[in-house]
Amino acid sequence: MCILSSNTQDLMKIKTPKISITPPNISRFVKKRKEHIGLSPDDISFRGEKKMDEVILRLVDFDAENLEETKIKAVEDILPYRKKSTITWFNIDGLHDSSVIEAVAEGFEFDTLVLAEVMDIHARASVQEFQDCIVISIKMLQQDGDTNHISVENLSLILTDTVLLSFQEKKGDVFEPVRERIRSQKKRIRNGGIDYLAFALLDIVVDNYIYIIGELGEKIEMLEENLLLEPKKSVIDNIYSYKRELNFLRKNITPAKDMIMTLSKMESELITESTHIHFQELLDNIHQATDSSETYREILSDQLNIYHTTISSKLNDVMKFLTIFSVIFIPLTFIAGIYGTNFEVVPELKYEYSYFIMWGVMFVVAIGMLVYFKHRKWL
């Protein structure tokens, strides 16, 4: 018996150079519907959002010389391949049809608990080893090149001695490079075995992590230029938006790193020594993804500090100007106040040039104070 865990998430937006800011949504980080609470662990019912109308069953069977690639209509059609010596990859797109999943459990003699966990797409990424199989669950991120939307879905893999089963929530072409390598008779993947095929699929997932973080990183670096040139409120809105997106990415990638670390150390008859080396390379790659996300997170924190420092500096400049302006006008107001009194006996009132002398004194006082401020390096 083997147990499988899985997860999914909503969409998120990344736009450049300006971002459409969306309010925080806690459901992107924690998802559990009320009707799913209390379900039996072996209850085969789909616990997620339906993303396609019809379940698609795809088969790729190959060895060093031969290749068979086809769509099949029923799970029963895959069962004869379990006894063949070839490498068989059975992919299921769509998890909403419980009858298909039940047929997989029956045909491959899995306990219902295994496929019940496949149907639960809210669980943490994990890898588990059992007597006759290894079960892997990981979050798969894909970025739409036109809209920059990032879709998150669960990928579940079950490794047996003759068949690799993969479960996706929806149909996609993210694994097309792997299929193309198989079609073009690349020796390593055609001769690598089930474990190497699983590595190839996971490698695609991790490469997408690095690509998406790199794309987001470019926007963060561009944001720094705008921050120094024009620190508007929209800039800090973008900073907070990027921090949310990075936290969301890290929430999905960090468990995947832990899973791959466990996988790279796993001693199993289903994983050959040569494939262990590739899993170690995969671990290095996902370390790069997590390190990059942490670096950009620190950059955003620095940018936030720069924004507040810049705003404070501008505020200080404004306050300095207003203070100097008011200090200069205090003695001028004093002088003007004296000559604005209502006393009849003011000696200078009858003098012909009193008005001009007053302006001269005020001018000298203002210039003198500016010179004094300059000398004290207050300006």
Residue 157 has pLDDT above 50, yes or no: yes
Question: What is the amino acid identity at position 205?
Answer: V
In whole angstroms, give the CA distance from residue 165 to residue 278.
Answer: 20
Choice between 119 and 249, residue whose per-residue pLDDT is larger: 249
- pLDDT single digits (tens) 193-203: 999 999 999 99
- pTM exceeds 0.85, yes or no: no
For the stretch 316-372, pLDDT in tens is 877 877 787 788 888 888 777 777 766 666 777 777 787 788 788 888 888 888 888
Look up tokens 């936030």; give the residue. 304
* Token reading at 152: 């998150």
The C-alpha atoms of residue 70 and residue 166 are separated, in whole angstroms, by 15
HSE value, Cβ hemisphere, 13 Å, CA-based, for 33 = 12
Instruction: Identify the pLDDT of residue 224.
Output: 75
Q: Which residue has the tokens 């008011």?
A: 326
| Amino acid 9: pLDDT | 36
pLDDT of residue 261: 93
Give SS3 for 352. Answer: coil
Q: Say what the pLDDT of residue 204 is.
A: 94
Domains of the chain: 9-308 (3.30.460.20), 316-375 (1.20.58.340)
Supply 129's token pair: 């080893």
Q: Are 11 and 121 in contact (CB under 8 A)?
A: no
Length of the chain: 379
